[in-house]
Structure 1
Amino acid sequence: DSGIVLMPLFSGLFGASMLITSLLTHSEIPPQIEEEFELPINRTLRGIISGSLAGAMVAWLPGVTSTIASVLARLTIRDRINEMELEYNNKEIIVSISGANTANAIYSLIALYIINKTRSGAMVALKSIGINLNASLVLLFIIIIVIVSILSYFATIYFGKISGELLQKFNYSKLCLGVLIGLTAIVILFTGWFGFIIFLIAIPIGMIPSYAKIRRVHAMGVLLLPLILYSIK
């Protein structure tokens, strides 16, 4: 079962490794300041277009996730020039990531309909329950995605304010430790000691990007390389 390998693998690479790094560096939640999201219209449009194009492109490729789409979209954003440009860059990244995720959800559905290949976990679940997609059903799903995206925009703003205030009341180190213990327990419970060993091996590998100052997305090679080798053999 691939889940016995993938669950502890990704939990170690992207979950536990970040939690342990936060514990070792004594990270804290910075003071939350509420302010308006201001971004020039040209940069907003660039973020939307670049993110949407990247998300649409990777939706057709096996093993390539919306995370990689976000990295591709970020290539259109210039490096820091001054403090104002840095602030705009950070906000544009948020816009492009949102565009990439939304486009990826839509085009993963279209890819399932056209080439009958699953390109995301949601599409795997959709296919596993035996739904036969047709043009009308795809259109219905796209309408639902658009509606949910609009609603989630307002929900994110509302709950973001609440969670920001709430999280400041917690001891961040204890919160990370609690999540780490819970994650470890879930890995052992669902994948056994074999999965736990994979989990332990993946953790130090997942910590390398933080100390080597490289992007964590490179760790996705653990999935991409086997898929490429499997495809060309």
Structure 2
Amino acid sequence: MHLFLTVLSYTLIGTAVGSIVSFFPSLHIYNVAGLAILIWGSLQNVLPEMGMVPFFTSLIVAFAFVNSIPMTMLSAADESASAVILPGTKNLLLGKGYETVIISGIGGLIGIILLVAGTPFFYYIMPYINNITRPNLAWILLTVIMYMIFSEWPKGAGYGKTVWQKFRGAWSNLFAGIAAWGLSGILGLFIINHSIITHQMAFQNIMPVFIGLFAVPSIIQNLLLSFEIPEQYIPKKSIDLDFKTVVQSTYSGGLAGMLCSYIPLITMGIGSIMAGAATALRGDKVFILGGGVAKLLYYVGSFLFLFVITPISPFGFSKGGLNIIIKPYFYPMENDYFLILSCIVLSGFLSFLLLMELAKLSVVLLKKVNFKQMYLFMLILVTAFIYFLTGWNGIFVMAVSTCIGTIPVFYHCRRSNLMGVLLIPITLNMAGYGDAVADFLHLVHM
């Protein structure tokens, strides 16, 4: 009985904390989780050990649902937003922001159903797939990198009065995409091989990079934008979704979610691009609903796979930022899977209920909040957050990352290209060339 109450209590607390934090724009849950694990570590003699995993599980579940509000209503996009941000913004300008948020939340519920229904597959088939793919991950990731580069095809061909203007219009986004890949990859090589973050905060080594690449450019973009958000319509009875759209979205989002929840370094944005090309499904609602499915599988599924412990996979399928954050404090046991799955189901349905109420609150706030001041406050907040955890060195890393992160914002290439910061150096390491490249760049002897 004591165990049940502990798990239930910390699931509810994690859901509440995750929902509140996720309601604010530009705050990523992994950064908050990193700070939370510091607090938890300092209080580990007081807090129950069995409360840790339910708390962090429900924290990430709540984020997968509630983050749709700032992503849609406040246009605070992280890398995973590339799956839903364009139709979401369009619907916001049409007064359908609330409907977009709820559709994304329904996608999250479908994602939870897929996790429950997929349990036999995870236990009896995925371990064999894992044994086949793990030795070949370097080539799989290299294929993904090449696909992302080649699929950044010229846009805008034929515009302009002169030949040079037409050429620039067609190829500017392509060059920007390649530049984003290359510069972020070089930054990743420096960060992984010769980080200037102090060793006391080494576990937050990558945090200033991601805030600089994704959060700060989004804040700058929203500070520069000036448009009136129309009054948002809240449906009184139901959301317009047909069965065909649900099936197509489940198929597309499920494929994207499985790709990015299992393959290391493949984010939701990259997974959604690949799944979209594979399924050739179109439509705003398919895009949004499928994005909700993929987002839940990406954040929550990748964490759940840590607990798929079998004789063939004794350490599970470890992937994701949350796994890295809690690993020093927790070791998964064989019977933990169904406990964590229960926490996911409970937290997911509670998060959806909170999502509906918080989405209504956001509609009210849209009329009253000064967005320029809000984003200026968020910029100050994330900067103070980085300084508190990593000092001036972290601020410098964030500033350099921001310069690279603004390339997709101003030159209209994919933000997913910025994931070269991890894909390039880690793929080189997996292929066995990481040390040679680091030595060539004199990073080893610096």
Q: 2: CA distance between counterparts of 1:66 and 1:185? A: 28
The 1:74–1:167 alpha-carbon spacing in structure 2 relative to 1, beyond 3 Å, is farther
- SS of alignment partner, residue 214 of structure 1: coil
Structure with the greater alpha carbon radius of gyration: 2
Matched, 1:51 2:253: yes
Structure 2 unaligned runs (5+)? 1-198, 433-446
Aligned with residue 102 of structure 1, among 280, 296, 307: 296
Matched, 1:20 2:197: no
Q: Percent identity?
A: 29
Structure 1 unaligned runs (5+)? 80-88
Matched, 1:158 2:387: no
Aligned equivalent of 1:227: 426
CA contact (8 A) 1:27 1:173 kept: no
Aligned with residue 234 of structure 2, among 34, 37, 43: 34
Q: 1: CA distance between counterparts of 2:405 and 2:302? A: 29
Q: 2: CA distance between counterparts of 1:190 and 1:217? A: 26
After superposition, the CA RMSD in angstroms is 2.3
Q: State the Cα distance separating 1:39 from its structure 2 match.
A: 2.5
CA contact (8 A) 2:270 2:416 kept: yes
The 1:181–1:150 alpha-carbon spacing in structure 2 relative to 1, beyond 3 Å, is same
Q: State the Cα distance separating 1:129 from its structure 2 match.
A: 2.2
Q: 1: CA distance between counterparts of 2:385 and 2:325? A: 21
- SS of alignment partner, residue 188 of structure 1: helix
Q: 1: CA distance between counterparts of 2:355 and 2:392? A: 38
Q: State the Cα distance separating 1:112 from its structure 2 match.
A: 5.0
2:406 is matched by which residue type in structure 1? M
Aligned equivalent of 2:402: 203
Q: 2: CA distance between counterparts of 1:223 and 1:27? A: 35
Judge which range, 62-71 or 177-186, deviates more. Answer: 62-71
CA contact (8 A) 1:59 1:111 kept: no
Matches within 5 A, 1:130-209: 130-134=330-334, 136-209=335-408
The 1:142–1:53 alpha-carbon spacing in structure 2 relative to 1, beyond 3 Å, is farther
Q: State the Cα distance separating 1:3 from its structure 2 match.
A: 4.2
Q: 2: CA distance between counterparts of 1:56 and 1:205? A: 29
Q: State the Cα distance separating 1:16 from its structure 2 match.
A: 0.7
1:170 is matched by which residue type in structure 2? V
Judge which range, 170-179 or 102-111, deviates more. Answer: 102-111
Q: 2: CA distance between counterparts of 1:193 and 1:126? A: 26
The 1:137–1:4 alpha-carbon spacing in structure 2 relative to 1, beyond 3 Å, is closer
Q: 1: CA distance between counterparts of 2:275 and 2:352? A: 20
- SS of alignment partner, residue 231 of structure 2: coil
